[in-house]
Structure 1
Amino acid sequence: MKSVCFVDDDKDEIRRFRQFMGDRYIVGTGTTLDDALQDLKNRKVRKPDLFMLDLYYGPDTPEEMRKDIAAADEKLSDAEAALRALLVKAGQSPNGGFTLAAEVQARYPRIPRVVFSRKAFLKDALRAHEVGLPLLEKPDPDATDKGTTSERYDAAFRRHSNQIFEFVDGIINRNRWLVRNRPRIEGFIMGFFFFVLKIVWDFFQGSAGSQLQAGAVGVLVGVLVCSLGCIWLAKR
């Protein structure tokens, strides 16, 4: 059975995870990493298959503040439900975006796609992950952003533009032909290298006695150098 190391600062979340996932995985839990790992060791697991970690992790948060956070989170859940109902009423749903993504995939199968949304919910993110769609959240304004609604969203986008660029550029770079085919190119170069080496060896042993063969060696070496240059550029 696969194993999961689950770390969360909320004991109720730990209880829930163990209760509902404990029959599917060997679960090691704790409010600290060491506690969770020790829990796994007690279950005869030395190294987990996955670490599942709380994002807003604060093990020293007072209990009273945890209650306030839980109440605010419940209000947020209600607001999200109201927003989703409003989106459906307005004719907007994630089905539209996934249909659009499928159309892009059909027409341009070699070009990567990214879902860029401010309204994505957990199940939308899971659905995007299932179909191989990276999800990037549109930035929301905060209390420091002033002006009209449009100006506040502009300010938020400007503030996060570098992170958005790095994410998008990373997706594009990983899809470049040289990057996608790097293992094949490297394998070809290795075989090519030994082929050239064999010709050079034969040449100096006297079995390749013509100027034509010597010229061929030079051409092959030049191609090899160019190929190595392509690999170097792909890794930049």
Structure 2
Amino acid sequence: MTTTTAVLEQQLAALPAHGYRIVPVADLLAVLRQKVPPPASLVALTVDDGHVSVFTELAPLLRRMPVPVTLFIYPSAIGNASYAMTWDQLRVVAAQPAVEVGAHTYWHPDFRRERNRLGADAFAAFAAAQLTRPRALLHDKLGIEARYLAWPYGIQDEALQRQAQASGYTAAFALGERHASTADNVFALPRFLITDAVGVRGLLARLAGGPACVP
């Protein structure tokens, strides 16, 4: 989040230099599902929202330093918001071999606020639309079957987790500032939020603290 290209490039170079393996989210999930302590060296990278900088900055960097990355997109912004990619730009990025595209709901709502605003039935319908529409749009626009979801602001609960599973996702990611482990619910996996100030030293310090990490 708000990480400059120069810092990200330094981080991507530092990870293998310090013994870490950057793997696709699918590989990390496969290890976590084995219910045995995962290797401490595994790191999976995710990028949320679909800002145009993914096309102008991240995509060229990944061509120079090809590592797997999962993008979580909220489609209401794609092609509509000035800060977001167009569908053509997202199509180009998604075509890069190591890039996978997942969903970040339809328009990045605050589920806690919406639950307080709506009645139970209305909220369930609202959440269902937020979860199903991005999968449908990504399939229609890009031919992508979005397997993974990132919860906006990391907000989720057991009911939302069940809805995500019913909507066709196989895993979902929150926040939490801690390492993912075999004890975590696969629909509420924690991630570290990495800002520019974290830098290389801060990233390595976070990774040193546990069995697996999704920064």
TM-score (norm: length of structure 1): 0.23
Higher relative contact order (CA 8 A, sep 6+): 2
TM-score (norm: length of structure 2): 0.25
Which protein has the bigger strand share?
Answer: 2
Which protein has the bigger helix share?
Answer: 1
Q: Return the index of the structure with the highest Cα Rg.
A: 1
